[in-house]
Structure formats: structure tokens, C-alpha cells
Structure 1
Amino acid sequence: MVPFRQVAVRPDSQIYMLLKNLARKLLMLPQERTQFGAAVFEHGILQMFVVLALRACIHAEFHTASVSRHHLMLDEVFLFIQAHLTEELTLERLEKEFFVSQEHIAREFKRQTGQTVHRYIVKARLDRCCTLIEQGLPITEVYKTSGFGGYNHFFRAFKKEYGMTPKEYFHTTRQDARG
């Protein structure tokens, strides 16, 4: 078992050919040890090989980072939404926070989660509301502390999501707790 992570680096064709030729030359060097400046020549070829190999690694790391940047960005969006759930959350605010266009955020969010940013925020707020209702907080306080703009919006979203009113949900959880 190797105690570290291994990564295969696939250099572009030009760097690959240079590395291949330098490796061949390094393998042939023992036969040329008697020639003038053999040690300096060997050192120079080895330096070029290491520099090209490092460039290939840096290029591969940069490419991997840019591909995974979208996933990391969305992870940060999820954390931001959870941290600011009780505040007004819009695509405009996310755009300003993350310096990424609203369209890009919306498109990537939908592609990776299957739902819109707005739908995710509403569901997260409703989950919070359920927790607060289960804790016995009055329903008028629940919607105010969960980021819903008004009671009507909260009521409609709750009924659509759970198929019952917040008050019915409260009574259902109380009966379940007793039974």
C-alpha cells in the first residue's frame, strides 16, 4: 500500500515527446561518460527533464482545478445559503457575493441539483420551519424567523410542499409525540 495519493499526469503531445527524447538520452548517457563535458551535459539534460515534468504537473493541476472550480463554487453557494437562510436571498445577491453571473449560478445549480436556486432556498426554509414548529414556536414567529417575506407566501409554500397547513402540521407532530 502506497502511503500517498498517486496522480497520473498526461502531458500534451509536445511535452510528452520532449520528455520521451530526454529520457532516451538519459538512458544512453552511461555510454557517453568518456566524452568531453559528460557530467555537465548529463546535469543539463536531467534539469530539462525535471523542468518539463514539473510543467506538465502544474498544467495538469491547473486544468483539474479549473474543471472542479464549478463544484467548489456550488459548495460555497450551499454554505452561503444555509448561513443566510433567514435573510433575503436572490440570484443578484449570490452574483455579487461570488462574482459569478446569475445565469451561470442558475444553470450550474440546476444542472447539479435538478432544482432551481429559488426552489432550494424555499425547501431549506421550509425544513427550518418544520424544526421550529416541532420545537413549539408559534407559527407567526416561525415564518418571520425563517426568511419568508410574508405569511401568505409561507402558507402557500408550506401547503404545497407538505400537503397540509402549518397548523395541521403542528397538531400532527403533537399527536405523534403523545402517541
Structure 2
Amino acid sequence: MNMDHALFSTLLNNLLSVDVTDATDMDISLEAFEKKYCFSIRMQPMFTQDALHYLLSSSKGGMIYEVIDQLGICISFFTFDNRSYIIGPYVKEKYSELKTETMLAKNDKSSSKSLAFKLYYTAFPIVYTEQITSVVNKCIISFSPAESEYSYRRLTGFIQDVSEEDDRTELSEKNYSEIYRRYDQEKQFLSMIRNGDTKNILSAFEKMSSPEVLSVFSKESLNYYASGYGLAILKALSRKAAEESGLSVITIDEITQKYTQLSSATNNADLQTRYQIDMIVELTKAVHNHRLSLDKYSLSIQRVLEYISLHLGDHISNENLSANANMSISHLAKVFKKETGVTMTEYIALLRCKKAANLLKKTNLPIQEISSYVGYSDNNYFVKVFRKNYGMTPTEFRRNA
């Protein structure tokens, strides 16, 4: 009897909630894999078509291989019934800002890459080796009961060697009134997010889902906010409310994707609910901070400030800034100085020095690497700018930190 390979892949994917690639046709599948998943060829040599071809071709039967690159991104691969399968990418721990900054600086990447990497990293589910090996073996035995259990092997030296996711209920009049009431509560709740009301947002959510409030609802509505569907709807509405406040959609996606990843790593309903609440609180705080720091500026200057923040480690030209503000360079310079109190050059230097100061305090990275990471290729010039902003050299700052 011929094995259903598509069913096998789908079963693995559903049980692990991780992408599964049938890589038997290596020329097509591996090229697509590299284009879809490779963030940096130099830092992820294992994700290149050639490297994967070599690994899969050299793999032995009865073995599950796992590779972890220096970015913390993992894949597993194995052969079964004369076909090759790749599981992943996936990660094993939650995102670390400091770890990312250290890694990017060591690899001569600018700070502007950190947000792109964060969005890349948090797009993958958190899965552990034991889950991979257990599910793979169970699926293999389900399709081929006579098959021996596969062993596990981690390829630790690969990076150096290679170098470069109908219950229908009739609605009575009472249920309609409950829906209206629930929507009224949601409107108040979302208004708090829109206004950055960090003081009351948590108590508002708890009030919406408290037993005292829900006790007046029918059985059908009782667990609405505690259910996966109810929370998913509330999550989408919260994102929209944050966007309507003027908060950058990039910041919104950064926050929500992080908590989506954390939720995917557990089957504990209480913990998943906790993550959703934490996401809502963090969104509201972000709106609050946005209103404090950017709401006082015109929309044109807000766009310029956001561009600077997103490209801080890159070369930032006046032409790029004026294009974002949709005004001439000379007019932008006057408006920027009037609204912020400093020139664009001074503002960029201050932000870069703040980021550098944080790395000087929290890491042992060489000053040259920190300089390059925050956007200064000339270390001597970086020292001069840093001294102007902090009254001391980076070395002196680190010594006194």
C-alpha cells in the first residue's frame, strides 16, 4: 500500500503547529525554503539551498537531526519512506532584546536591523526538542508500525563548518440585549486603549470578565471573554483602537506578534489569557507613551521621528527625511527645530548615544562594535559625539556605569 505523504506532512504540521516541508524534490523545495526563511545568509548558512542540499543528502535513515543557528532559529530534518522532511523554522526561547543587539553588533549589522529581526524571530513558534522527536516518532510508527524509533542528533558544529500556524445558538431578545451590553463595554474598553488610559485599562478588562458581571449574562455568553474566539476578537479590536490613536502599525505588530508567539508555546488556557491581557496592557502603554512623546508634534514631524527611530543605525539623509515629511529640506529643518527644540542632526545623535550608553552599561561589546551598531562607522567621530552628549568618553562612561 502506498503511503499518503501529504497526510503525513499535514499530521506533523497540525500536531506541532510548525511548518513542515517535504523536501524530496530538493531543487525546487530548498530554493523556496531559502527565499522564505533566510534572514541573513552570512549568519544563517544552514538556511541556504546548497547547505540544506548537502545536509539532507548526507543524512542517515533512522535519525532526526537538529540544527540551531547563531540567531537562535532551529530546524529539524529526517528521511522517512525515501522522502526528506524539514520541520521548522522554530525557536526554543522567547525573544531577548539585549541578546539580539549583542548578536547584531558582533556581526557588524546596524541597529536598524533589530526590529526587522524581532518581527522575523517572533513569527516562529516556540517548540522544544522533546516535542519534535516524540511527535515525529509517533507519526512514523502510526504510518509504519514496524519502523524502529528514530534517534536524535544535534549538529552543533555546522555553523562554523559552513561559514556563511457549528455550534449554533438561537438568539432570544434577552441575548440581543446582552450583546448590546457587551458591545457597550467593549466600546468603553477600546476607548481606554485609544486614549492610552494605563491607569484603568486592566481593571476595565477584569471587570468585563469578572464572575460578578458575567453572572447576569446567559450561559451562552458566560465565557465569551475567556474563550479563544472572544479573546481573538478583542485582540483584533485592540490593535485597531491602538492604530486609531496614531500609534505606528509597526509598533502594534511588534507587540501583538510577540504575545501571539508566547501563546502558541502553551496549551494552558489561563496562561494564554494572561498573555492576551499583557498584550492589551502593553498596547495601552505604548499608546500612552506615544501621546506623551509624539502627540505634541505635527503629523509630518511624527513621520520623521518614526523614520529616524526605525533607521537609527543606517545612514539617514536629509533627502529621506524630507521625503517622509513631504516638504523641502530647508522647510523641514525649520519646522523640526521649532517643534523639537533641536536640529535633526542633534536629535539623531542624542538617540544614537542613548542606545550606545545602554549597551555600554549592559554588555562587554567593544566600543568600535557599538559605534558601528548605532550608526557611526568612524569610531573617533562617535567618541566626539558621545562626549558632547554625555560629557565623557564611552570608555569613561562604561567605567563609571
State TM-score, norm by structure 1: 0.55
* Unmatched 5+ stretches in structure 2: 1-187, 189-294
* Cα displacement (A) at 1:154: 0.2
Residue 302 of structure 2 corresponds to 75
- 1:103 is the counterpart of 2:333: no
Contact preservation (8 Å) 2:303, 2:324: no
Contact preservation (8 Å) 2:349, 2:385: yes
Q: Deviations over 1:62-105 (max 9, x none)?
A: xxxxxx9x701111111110010000112122123443211121
- 1:167 is the counterpart of 2:395: yes
* Unmatched 5+ stretches in structure 1: 4-67, 174-179
1: distance between equivalents of 2:393 and 2:345? 21
* Cα displacement (A) at 1:106: 0.6
Q: Find the structure with the greater CA-based Rg.
A: 1
Q: Deviations over 1:92-140 (max 9, x none)?
A: 2212344321112111100011110010001110001001111212211
Shift >4 Å, 4+ stretches: none
- 1:121 is the counterpart of 2:348: yes
Alignment of 1:1-179 (within 5 A): 71-136=298-363, 137-173=365-401
1: distance between equivalents of 2:377 and 2:343? 19
Task: Give the SS at the match of 2:368.
Answer: helix
1: distance between equivalents of 2:397 and 2:353? 12
Task: Give the SS at the match of 1:125.
Answer: helix
1: distance between equivalents of 2:325 and 2:351? 20
State TM-score, norm by structure 2: 0.25
1: distance between equivalents of 2:382 and 2:309? 18
Residue 135 of structure 2 corresponds to none
Greater helix share, 1 or 2?
A: 1
2: distance between equivalents of 1:110 and 1:157? 19
Q: Deviations over 1:48-67 (max 9, x none)?
A: xxxxxxxxxxxxxxxxxxxx
1: distance between equivalents of 2:299 and 2:326? 14
2: distance between equivalents of 1:114 and 1:125? 18
Count of residues paired in the alignment: 107
Which amino acid letter does the alignment assign opposite residue 125 of structure 1? R
